[in-house]
């Protein structure tokens, strides 16, 4: 929505799975984990535009019971 993030709040960011497995023959062991790369990218970009994709679900995690289509606040 283009609004600034509140530095006093916590936000949940979800990404693809992987369970920290290395994938591929030529993966270098000195590369940082993908979640560190994503965090650095978000910090540098400030505004992230995420295209709509049908496999993306927003979960309401306030009660600890995620519901599809909920809003995290």
Name the pLDDT band for 67 (thresholds 50, 70, 90): low
Domain that holds residue 21: 1-73
In whole angstroms, what is the distance from residue 28 CA to residue 61 CA? Answer: 35
State the average pLDDT over residues 57-72: 56
pTM for the full predicted model: 0.39
- State how many domains the chain has: 1
């Amino acid at each position: 929505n283009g609004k600034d993030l509140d530095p006093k709040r916590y936000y949940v960011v979800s990404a693809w799975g992987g369970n920290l497995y290395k994938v591929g023959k030529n993966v270098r062991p000195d590369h940082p984990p993908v979640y560190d790369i994503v965090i650095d990218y978000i910090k540098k970009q400030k505004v992230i535009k995420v295209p709509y994709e049908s496999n993306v679900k927003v979960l309401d995690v306030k009660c600890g019971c995620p519901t599809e289509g909920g809003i995290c606040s």
